[in-house]
Amino acid sequence: MGSITVTPDPFHLVEFDAAVLRGLIEEVAGSLQIPPTVDISLIVDEALPHPILGCETNLVDGAIDLWCSGGWFESRNKTRAFSERHARGVLTAMLLRARDRLSGGFEDAPADGELTLAERSAWDVYAWGRTDQLGHRVHRQKRLYDFRLQHGFTDAADAVFDRLWTSNSSSWGAIREICAETGAVLRPKAKLPADLLRRGSRH
């Protein structure tokens, strides 16, 4: 049986419970049929509040390595409080991307810190679309706006978004083709590292 670890434990700056998060990860990973032998670690940067949102999903030596800002799990109604609904939603999207990396056509994708913003946003749409199909409350317009920021405010970009949102099967190659189709590959390279938030993290 694989292990599930959550860092920090206990939390000091926010009212989160590591045991609750471990339970959620176990439940979501099980529902997504992630092999139970795979180790999963989640690092939460509790210093980063909503709206400073960032998250990463990588594989390290065959284990799933998750990192996210505490703002993703934070209640919108009470500062520093935990929101199970938001946590469940983002953990589902993150673990869907982990499953993509394990055996879902994304085995040769670079680590999250090396993805371009356009590649990452297209992959996120694919993940959030499936999260929506699983019955979670996902704000489609938010995801569309995020996608437009990286792929353009055009009808062509919107058509690609619709395709990704309803898709049940994609691959790293398809994501790269999408970036060519919307013209995102021609945009200037980002001046900042994609994993800037994580680089400043203490863990």
Binding-residue pattern over the window 143 to 182 for another protein, x denoting contact by CB under 8 A: xxxx-xxx-xx-----------------------------
User: Shortest gap between Cβ of 39 and another protein (angstroms)?
Assistant: 28
Strand order in the sheet with 63-69: 4-7, 40-45, 63-69, 55-60
Q: How far is the CB of 3 from another protein (least distance, A)?
A: 28
List the one residue from 76, 85, 137, 203 that touches another protein (CB under 8 A).
76
Please spell the DSSP secondary structure of 11-50, one letter per residue: -SSSB--HHHHHHHHHHHHHHTT--TTS-EEEEEETT--T
**Nearer to another protein by C-beta: 97 or 143?**
143
Contacts to another protein from residues 18-37, by CB under 8 A: none
User: Strand pairing partners for 5?
Assistant: 41
**203 makes contact with another protein (CB under 8 A):** no
Q: Of residues 29, 44, 48, 90, which one binds another protein by CB under 8 A? A: 48
Residue holding tokens 């939603």? 89
Instruction: State which amino acid sits at residue 6.
Output: V
C-alpha 3, offset from chain centre:
20
Residue 111 binds another protein, judged by CB under 8 A: no
Residue 200 makes contact with another protein by CB under 8 A: yes
Give the DSSP H/E element, type plus range, for residue 149. helix 140-151
67: nearest Cα among 57, 75, 77, 78: 57
Residues 6+ positions from 70 with CB-CB distance below 8 Å: 13, 14, 16, 44, 45, 46, 47, 48, 49
Report if residue 85 touches another protein, rule: CB under 8 A: no
Out of 2, 8, 49, 183, point to the residue binding another protein (CB under 8 A): 49
Instruction: Please give the structure tokens belonging to residue 91.
Output: 């953990």
Residue 40 found at the interface with another protein (CB under 8 A): no
Whether residue 10 has a cis bond before it, omega within 30° of 0:
yes
Q: Residues 33, 37, 77, 169: which binds another protein (CB under 8 A)?
A: 77
Tokens representing 105 are: 């056509």
Q: How far is the CB of 76 from another protein (least distance, A)?
A: 6
- Which of the 8 DSSP states describes residue 187? S
Q: Cβ 54 to another protein, closest distance in Å?
A: 6
Interacting residues with another protein (CB under 8 A)? 12-14, 46-54, 69, 71, 76-77, 79-80, 117, 139-146, 148-150, 152-153, 190-192, 196-197, 199-200
